[in-house]
Amino acid sequence: MKIMQAIVKADIAARFLFLPMFSFLLCPKSVRSSHSNS
């Protein structure tokens, strides 16, 4: 059970860390333009 919980926590943490980086790599221009506008 503890192993499963550790895997789930690691998966969630990896998603939260990976998704922003992945989206930034996919569309850095849109991210930069949005930041400069605001």
Q: Can you give the pLDDT of all 38 residues of the chain as single tens digits? A: 899 999 999 999 988 888 888 877 877 776 566 656 55
Report whether 22 contacts 28 (CB < 8 A): no
Q: Give the sign of the dihedral formed by CA 16, CA 21, CA 27, CA 31.
A: positive
Cα–Cα distance, 23 to 38 (Å, whole number): 19
Cα–Cα distance, 38 to 25 (Å, whole number): 20
What's the predicted TM-score (pTM) here? 0.43
The residue assigned the tokens 């949005």 is 34
